[in-house]
A and B are shown apart, each in its own frame.
Chain A
Amino acid sequence: MKRWNSVSRVALIAAGVLCVSACEEPKVDVATYQTLQQCLADINMVRSDCEKNHAAARKQHASVAPKFASARECEEEFGRARCEKAPQTTSGGGSMFMPLMMGYMMGSMIGGRGYGNAQPLYRTRKDPGTFRTADNKRAGRSVGRTQVAKSSTARPTAKRSSRSRGGFGSSGRRFGSAAT
């Protein structure tokens, strides 16, 4: 019976870390700005990179930003006066709300071809100093040319618009633990 590599498992347990996510992840070069003007004001940045990436991020914003059925729910997450009406509606015709775009992040392209793969950034009420992507991945606290974890630069996902919730779970309320 092959014995599991006891040293590394116990070390992981002792460190309170059983997984890779809390450990170091490779970082990549990005450029992050709160506004188009801020990017244009950075002498290290080329005008066309600032503009085309800002436009690309804005274009994605309505599709990828998290959606809420009320302004209150959105502001609970993102802060007062930090939300706007989304172009989408619920299937019942009601309004939906999304956080304001608070910045954009672009990745450094290989071969010195400037910047691309832009995406919009947001800030939550509870952690306003940190930029987050539409999929709630942390994208650092700095403005300008900086580095973030590679997984934070992944393409954000387009959001659905749920018609209803709660179609699972009623048996659990009746029976308790699922485990056997």
Chain B
Amino acid sequence: MKRISVEERPALAEAAARHEFEFQEGIGIPFWDETNYYQFTEKQIDEDLVKPAEEIESLCFEVVTRAMEDETVLQRLGVARQFWDLIADSWQNQERNLYGRMDFSYDGKGPAKLLEYNADTPTTLYESSVFQWEWLEEAEKNGLLPAGCDQFNDIHEKIVEALSNIGVQEILHLGANRDIEDDMGTLEYVSDCSKEAGIMTQVLAMEEIGIDDDGRFTDLEENLITTLFKLYPWEWIFAEEFGTKIASSGTRFIEPAWRSILSNKGLLPILWEMFEGHPNLLPTFFEDDPAADSLGEDYVRKPLLGRQGSNVEIYRDGDLLSSKGGPYGQEGYILQAFDPLPNFSERYPLVGCWLIASKAVGMGIREDGGLITGAEANFVPHLILD
């Protein structure tokens, strides 16, 4: 695995405009860095990322299966009891998942270590699927890259295929927080993929969703919402007024409710408990578990429901090495063995492996100047060259 400097594409400003990304003179596109790329071999992708990611996915399914019979799982994840049936039904009814991103600490040599699974509302989909592919094509054409490069990226094609198989009747509604440009951008992209799959779509804001006298969810034009793709986390929905109305609404959700088990960082201690010693898992415990003492003085403290590195604390030799602030943590914490992200020229890449319909089909890398990957991290493209 190498990090290689490269020239920016001469027509970067035009590329930004075409994809409706912001572009600033002298800076380029915020949170996108194409002055460097990461290079992998085919073998590294296949053996160190694809195989482990798909294996972990099946281990995750075993966790969900266990949650169906053992109520301590949902208890320890902090999911309110009134939603247990909703989650169980979504699993028993085999409601299909569409996408997710597993984040790994990986340096090209040792086994990739799972840091967390973004199984509900993963970010950087568009950059991973479309934008970094276009970078590869254009950079090659401009002679900026060696000949014969490939990229671990079948994401677009697989999303369209998965959507056409996901069984949407009538139209697909898509909802997110209207004020967050990035989230709406991702939503529009999924809407485009849906249309490519032959599905009619309607994008709306989550707060625009209504409910009628029969308890059915409605959009602004008073149409029934039969299937809703939400870029909006389950744990927020569980805390909101309409959360308890979902079970009787008849609306099908993508991602389905059982994904809330996997997007919760409580997944990680349960995976360790069930599959201790697996080469791609890190020792992880709930904070109040006495067994956490086995981690010693080096560990990472993470809130069960945090996002984008918020409220994460890294301890080395018992001292706080690095941390990020944020509003999360009331729901509890996990402690995970400290496996530092690799240092490439004082940049720390986090390797995100994309799974579409549970198959590993792409990768997106974000790099931060520190050990905790936050919202300001840059997306850096990659290529495969043997």
Contact = CB atoms under 8 A, between A and B. Distances in A.
Interface of A: 1-6, 9-10, 13, 16, 18-21, 66-67, 91, 135-136, 151, 157, 159-180
A179 B120 CA distance: 9
A92 to B, nearest CB: 11
Contact of B177 (A9, A20, A165, A172): A172
Interface of B: 18, 42, 45-46, 118, 120-124, 130, 133-134, 137, 150, 152-154, 156-157, 170, 175-177, 179-180, 182-183, 186, 189, 192-193, 195-196, 198, 200, 205-214, 216, 218, 221-224, 231-233, 236-237, 239-242, 245, 263, 307-308, 327, 375, 384
A66 B195 contact: no
Given A67-B222, A160-B223, 4 more contacts: A9-B156, A160-B210, A168-B175, A178-B233
A169 B177 contact: yes
Q: Which of B206, B207, B222 has the most CB of A within 10 A?
A: B222
Given A163-B213, A177-B183, A178-B180, A6 B123 contact: no
Contact of B134 (A1, A10, A20, A171): A10
Nearest to A176: B180
Given A1-B152, A4-B157, A168-B232, A20 B196 contact: yes
A160 B307 contact: no
Q: Which of A2, A9, A136, A167 has the most CB of B within 10 A?
A: A167
Contact of A167 (B156, B216, B245): B245
Secondary structure call for the B interface:
mixed
Given A20-B195, A20-B196, A167 B211 contact: yes
Nearest to B158: A4
B47 to A, nearest CB: 12
Contacts of B124: 179
B182 A162 contact: no
B264 to A, nearest CB: 11
Contacts of A178: 121, 176-177, 180, 183, 231-233, 236, 307
Contacts of A161: 212-213, 222
